[in-house]
Amino acid sequence: MIKYLRTLLNNENSKAINNSTWLIMEKIISMGLSLFTGILIARYMGVELFGLYSYLLALTSLMGPLCVMGLKGIITKELIETPSKANTILGTAFIIRLLGGVGALGIIVLSSIWLLDTPNERILLVILAIAQIFIAAELATTWFEYRVEIQPIVKMRISLFFLSAILKISAVFLSLSLFTFVVITAAEVAFRGIFALILLQKKSRLVFRLKFSQSYAMKFAKNGFWLVLSGFAAIIYLKIDQIMLGNMVSNSAVGQYAVASRFSEIWYFIPIAITTSFFPKLLTARKKSQAIYTRQLQNLCDVLLLLALIVAILMTFLSNWFIPFIFGEEYSPAGNILAIHIWAGLFVFMRALLSKWLIAEGLYSMSLLTHGVGAIINILLNYFLIPLWQGEGAAIATIISYASAGYFSLFFHSSTRPMAIIMTRSLIFPFHWLKKI
């Protein structure tokens, strides 16, 4: 383990590590604030209303891929290859994502008619959907990631986290309605995009020089098409459990599951922060030497797996104690759900690296295929397991679908088999490490 950490901590990678540190610090702060406010909101709303709130957020997230259009990794790759065309790359991507967000809003408005029972619930869903349009502006963060200078973005987002937390806590103490919490959540998403554009203009003067290019649009559409479909498949197998619980059981079941999955998924910032910061280094290494590139992939995958294993073991032993202690006995069933759901993190941590690798290798269609496998398996398993074990059944379905999408499916195609081998080495690495100790 020490050998791998030393490899990652050399001078060449110091800037990426500094970037990761800022991103991890941001996520730790946001995790703490989210945890604290989440506890207050869950206790204040109760299982039923908190379940509805979580259900609305899950429905909104289904349209996330249209707001992102699968372009984040592609933009980073283009900026590294042709930095002189940054204004054209970012401008074209902005227009595409903006159109995607408008399309997502239209779909949400239409689908709310049959997904929700009351006009008030539909209004709340539409408010959340309108905020998603502003995700288009968050592509400005890609420029800072490409430059490996994420600090300004992190500082901005931390400030918004604190402001949002203060507003939500105030809403709890003032006993305000669900409408207030939805508006605060939507406003946070919107302002994150707006301020990202302001920072981009301040640091680069690019915003008013953004250009649209038809050739880049065609290129992004071709490559991003697979990633958009992949994003839909990923969101389905990430959030369909809550939607199916809401439709097949009750909002209370969604509330229990939402508490458990929040504690499980809150750790997912770790692989995202690490892989986002090291992605430019991986692309550079790929150009220089296949051996160096493979070694860096293996080192990152080993560390990610070990971190996920540590989190899973700790949460398994603590879940049934602290869930009822923090949220109250009303939420005690979430403890068993969490003890199961947390093990999906092993494959989520490695999947973060796999996603970057697929972009680096240009295997965009394989991203769709693997996510599609996970989505289909998750829906089928949820259909059979939720009636038997409700939230615990959904958690079991999550583990199996994540493992299928992020690991087992890679063995069935020659193009993805190299990454499957790297992951296999990581999965057996802890045993070699323990044997040496």
pLDDT higher than threshold 80 for residue 362: yes
pLDDT attached to residue 320 = 92
pLDDT at residue 13, rounded to an integer: 59
- Amino acid 94: pLDDT: 87
Q: How far is CA 228 from the centre of its chain?
A: 14
CA pair distance 433, 426, nearest whole angstrom: 11
The predicted model gives 106-110 an average pLDDT of 86
How many angstroms separate the CA atoms of 10 and 147, rounded?
19
pLDDT tens per residue, range 394-413? 999 999 999 998 999 999 99
If one compares 157 and 80, the residue with the highest pLDDT of the two is: 157
**Confidence check: pLDDT of 14 > 70:** no
Which residue has better confidence, 366 or 170? 170
Structure tokens at 280: 């430019």
Range of weakest confidence among 70-74, 130-134, 412-416 = 70-74
Distance from C-alpha of 56 to C-alpha of 50, rounded to nearest angstrom: 10
**Is it the case that residue 5 has pLDDT exceeding 50?**
no
Of 61-75, 126-140, 272-286, 379-393, which gets the smallest average pLDDT? 61-75
Residue scoring higher pLDDT (417 or 58): 417
* Residue range 74-80: mean pLDDT, rounded: 80
For residue 304, give every residue at least 6 positions away whose Cβ sits within 8 Å of its Cβ, in sequence order, or none: 270, 271, 274, 275, 349, 350, 352, 353, 426
Average pLDDT for 70-96: 82
pLDDT bin (cut points 50, 70, 90) of residue 1 is very low
CA-angle at 339, arms to 335 and 344, nearest 5°: 135
- In the predicted model, is pLDDT for residue 317 greater than 70? yes
Q: What is the mean pLDDT of residues 316-342?
A: 92
Q: Which of 231, 263, 256 is nearest to 65 (CA)?
A: 231
Class of residue 59 by CB neighbours under 10 A (exposed 0-12, middle 13-18, buried 19+):
buried
**Residue 4 pLDDT grade (very low, low, confident, very high; cuts 50, 70, 90):** very low
Confidence class of residue 2 from pLDDT cuts 50, 70 and 90?
Answer: very low
Residue 220 has pLDDT above 70, yes or no: yes
Task: Indicate if the pLDDT at residue 9 is higher than 70.
Answer: no
Note the pTM of the prediction, 2 decimals: 0.76
For the CA atoms of the chain, what is the radius of gyration? 21
Inform me whether the pLDDT recorded for 176 exceeds 70: yes
Q: What is the pLDDT of residue 431?
A: 60
For residue 407, the 8-state DSSP code is T
| Least confident interval from 64-68, 191-195, 284-288, 377-381 | 64-68
40 falls in which pLDDT band (50, 70, 90)? very high
Helices 86-115 & 214-248 angle (0-180, nearest 10): 30
Instruction: Report the C-alpha gap between 147 and 84 in whole angstroms.
Output: 13
Handedness of CA 305, 309, 312, 318 (dihedral sign): negative
pLDDT at 435: 52
pLDDT at 10: 54
For the cut 90, the answer to whether the pLDDT of residue 91 exceeds it is no
Which percentage of the chain shows pLDDT scores above 70? 94
Furthest CA-CA distance within the chain: 62
* Listed ranges 155-164, 322-331, 427-436; the one with the highest mean pLDDT: 155-164
Strand, helix or coil for residue 363 = coil
Q: Give residues with Cβ within 8 angstroms of 74, minimum separation 6.
A: 220, 223, 224, 227, 359
pLDDT band at 385 (very low <50, low <70, confident <90, very high): very high
pLDDT category, 434, cuts 50, 70, 90? Answer: low
The pLDDT value recorded for residue 7 is 53
| Contact criterion met (CB below 8 Å) for 85 and 205 | no
Let me know how long the chain is. Answer: 437
Residues 65, 225: Cα–Cα separation, whole Å: 10
Q: What are phi and psi of 70, to 5 degrees?
A: 65, 25
pLDDT, greater one: 163 or 208: 163
- Mean pLDDT of the chain, nearest integer: 86
- Cα 96 from Cα 85, distance rounded (Å): 17
Task: Answer whether residue 185 shows pLDDT above 90.
Answer: yes
Check residue 433 and give its pLDDT: 57
Residue 148 and residue 277 in contact, taking contact as beta carbons nearer than 8 Å: yes
